[in-house]
Each structure stands twice: as C-alpha cells, then as structure tokens.
Amino acid sequence: MTQRAELATVMDRLAVDELITAYAVAVDDGDWTAYRGLFTADGRADYRSAGGIEGGAGQVAGWLAESLTLFAMRQHLIVNRRLRFDVLEHDTGDTASVRADYLNPMRVAADGGPTAPDLVCGGRYAFALLRTSQGWRLSEVVVEEKWRRLRAESAPAS
C-alpha cells in the first residue's frame, strides 16, 4: 500500500469514527434533525431488539423523539469499534461496516429529583456506511440489545 493510500485509509477511518460519535451525540442530545442528516436518503434503523421499531431514518427519528422524552438524561457510550471497508461497484472503500458495543445509562424524568431511577442498557450496534458526495453516511443501523437494568438509587445518607 502506498503512503497516499494509507493516508486516505486513515482519513476515512477518522471520518467514520466522527460519524459514529455524531450518531451518539445526536441521540443523547435529542437533535433529530442532525440524526436524520447522518443517514443516506434511504437509510434505515432497527431498534426492535430494544423494544423499538424498524424503519426509515425519519420515521425512527420521530419514534425516538417521542419515546426518549421519558428520560431527562442520556449518555450513550459506543466502544470497541471494529471497522471494515468493503467493496461496491468494483472500487474499494465505498462502503464500510462497524460493529461496536454500547453502554447507555439514562436518567428517568421524574419529579423526584436525584432519587429517580436509572435505566442502563448495553448491547452491540451494527452500522453500515456508504461514501456519498456529502461524505460518509449511515445506510443502516441495527441495535442488538443484550441486557438492561432498571434500578432506584439509594437514599442519601443522613
């Protein structure tokens, strides 16, 4: 591999990493316009394993906007990212796939203040990406929730 090809691969890896991070930030911040903008025009997401829906990015963004109002705080951590570049139409590097684990603690919105219960879940994402004229975009996101826990915090010590 030439230095030019190696540099291009590094730049693509950084761009893909930025896209995955932008996905987590958009969900955590409830920025559904940004969320939709991360996908290709025909991009899809599948949250069925976590009790959600599967559909186009716009439809799923609407469902997320409604269902995540239950949570006053979300902090999505996407880790252990494994990236592969794939071939499309006899060229290299047009598509990519990322398998990554996630940990997602969320604070339930309640009038009880800091004693409100937390929901914590974890699992794995499968991201499919496509290089477009606007840069890398998500063509598919599949969530594989592996576990979840709902717990109430302990009362503060007196």
Residues 54-76 have pLDDT tens digits of: 999 999 999 999 999 999 899 99
| 115 DSSP 8-state letter | G
pTM over 0.95: no
Instruction: Identify the band that residue 108 occupies on the pLDDT scale cut at 50, 70 and 90.
Output: confident
Domains of the chain are 3-151 (3.10.450.50)
CB 125 within 8 A of CB 156: no
Nearest to 96 by CA among 139, 125, 128, 135: 128
